[in-house]
Amino acid sequence: MAIEEKVRKIIEKIKPALQADGGDIEFVQVTPEGVVMVRLQGHCAHCPMSQITLKQGVEVAIKEEIPEIKEVVAI
């Protein structure tokens, strides 16, 4: 399974928790350097806690299953 497909599956698992709080996340791409780019939507787009959610939630979940990923960033 390609890295992009693995990332998409993990993001799909995370989505319900974000949607429960009025937010959402959209996968954009994985760079050749191992950076996952996502777009935060809804309440997540403007929430002051979104960086904590992104780094301690989304990034940790992805890196646990895909060690090749170096970072997750919101664009």
Q: What is the pLDDT of residues 25-40, one digit of tens each?
A: 999 999 999 999 999 9
By the 8 A CB rule, do 47 and 27 touch?
Answer: no
pTM for the model: 0.91
Read off the pLDDT band of 43 (50, 70, 90): confident
Q: How many domains does the chain have?
A: 1
Give the C-alpha separation, 6 to 41, whole Å: 21
Q: What is the reported pLDDT for 45?
A: 84
CATH number assigned to the domain comprising residue 45: 3.30.300.130
43 vs 59, residue with greater confidence: 59
pLDDT digits (tens, 9 = 90+) for 59-70: 999 999 999 999
* Structural domain span for residue 20: 3-74
